[in-house]
């Protein structure tokens, strides 16, 4: 069977913990400003509840693509435990093939904690030292995202070997924490083979190791790394894209914000789905923005991902929304 898309990366169960007492403070180091989540030290911190939900960048992409009707498979590793069973059943429910899902009986399934405060989140992460086994894929698109430190080099090398042997396959790459830590030189083989690179503004600055207010400069520098198309999201400010010919910008669809976790995954997945179906860059940005705007209205990265029929209705509902050519700096 040949798939429309195979997503590769770690999966997890996320424990969503909405905080009741916290505050944010700005930390300034040189010209860099960082928002810090602050809670009282050495005491009990009240929370609203704890909700456990399936998550993980590539996992979110696989489920979202399955709901949109694409033929999808997911390559990841889980433990032989309850959480691993939950992830496997979640994939089947969303019509994602589990042919490439490995089970490691010696390790647990990844479990992260998401601290939520006023619509934003900070995530406490721990990746089990999984060892991904090379698989024989048959797909049109490969979506590669976050894996743990133990597999970050090996999995990347496996993907490059597969792409070298299958030049028609297109790669969408959304580097995770441990991948970005390798630095742009070690990631060069992936960048050079990449059809679409997805990052947010903070990730772009981290990869490039420079800070600027110019969106074009960030897009130019990312494009120079090798991808054919660069997409940079910037939260409530919208998204930017450079396809090597034109710069594009899409604002946001104004909807109530419940939880932003997984919005970037939803946007990227829908962008790839649009490209897989032959849509141009501007329309792909439109698709990604509209789908992400509904994800943001529910807790968790997968809860409100739209199915194909509902997504079509939303596209018609927002027919006046579109991306436009970006002419600013």
Q: pLDDT tens digit string along 179-192?
A: 999 999 999 999 99
Q: Which residues pair with 143 in a beta bridge?
A: 7, 172
Cα torsion for 74, 75, 79, 85, to the nearest 10°? 20
Q: Please report which residue ranges of 166-241 form alpha helices under DSSP H.
A: 177-181, 188-192, 201-208, 215-224
Please determine, for residue 299, whether its predicted confidence score (pLDDT) is greater than 90.
no
Main-chain phi, psi angles of 97, to 5 degrees: -70, 140
Q: Does residue 152 contact residue 182 with C-beta atoms inside 8 Å?
A: yes
> Does the CA dihedral 206-212-214-217 come out positive or negative?
negative
As a whole number, the mean pLDDT across the chain is 94
What's the mean pLDDT in 264-282?
A: 97
pLDDT of residue 115: 95
Are 285 and 239 contacting, i.e. CB atoms less than 8 angstroms apart? Answer: yes
Question: Which ranges constitute the DSSP H helices of 94-198?
Answer: 152-165, 177-181, 188-192
pLDDT tens column, 11-24: 999 999 999 999 99
Greater pLDDT, 32 or 245: 245
**pTM of the shown model:** 0.93
* Helix or strand run (H / E) with residue 195: strand 194-200
Give me the pLDDT at residue 33, please.
Answer: 80
Residues 45-88 have pLDDT tens digits of 999 999 999 999 999 999 999 999 999 999 999 999 999 999 99
- pLDDT tens digits, residue range 275-297? 999 999 999 999 999 999 999 98
């Amino acid at each position: 069977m040949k798939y429309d898309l195979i997503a590769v990366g770690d999966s997890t169960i996320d424990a969503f913990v909405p905080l009741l007492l916290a505050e944010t403070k700005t930390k300034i180091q040189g010209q860099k400003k960082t928002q810090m989540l602050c809670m009282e030290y050495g005491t009990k911190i009240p929370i609203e509840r704890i909700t456990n939900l399936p998550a993980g960048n590539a996992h979110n992409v696989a489920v979202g693509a399955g709901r949109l009707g694409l033929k999808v498979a997911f390559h990841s590793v889980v433990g032989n435990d309850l959480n691993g069973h939950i992830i496997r059943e979640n994939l089947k429910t969303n019509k994602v093939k589990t042919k490439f899902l490995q089970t490691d009986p010696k390790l647990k399934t990844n479990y992260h904690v998401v601290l939520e405060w006023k619509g934003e989140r900070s995530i406490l992460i721990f990746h089990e030292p999984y060892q991904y086994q090379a698989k024989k894929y048959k797909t049109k698109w490969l979506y590669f995202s976050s894996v743990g430190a133990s597999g970050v080099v090996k999995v990347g090398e496996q993907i490059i070997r597969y792409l070298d042997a299958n030049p028609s396959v297109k790669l969408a790459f959304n580097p995770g924490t441990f991948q970005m830590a390798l630095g742009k030189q070690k990631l060069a083989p992936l960048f050079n083979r990449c059809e679409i690179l997805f990052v947010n503004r903070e990730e772009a600055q981290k990869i490039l190791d420079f800070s600027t207010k110019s969106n074009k400069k960030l897009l130019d520098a990312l494009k120079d790394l090798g991808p054919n198309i660069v997409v940079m999201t910037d939260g409530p400010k919208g998204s930017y894209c450079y396809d090597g010919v034109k710069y594009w910008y899409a604002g946001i669809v104004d909807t109530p914000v419940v939880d932003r976790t997984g919005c970037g995954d939803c946007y990227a997945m829908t962008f790839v789905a649009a490209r897989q179906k032959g849509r141009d860059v501007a329309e792909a940005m439109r698709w990604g923005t509209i789908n992400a705007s509904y994800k943001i209205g529910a807790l968790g990265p997968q809860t409100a991902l739209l199915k194909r029929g509902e997504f079509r209705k939303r596209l018609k509902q927002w027919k006046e929304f579109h991306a436009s050519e970006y002419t600013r700096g």
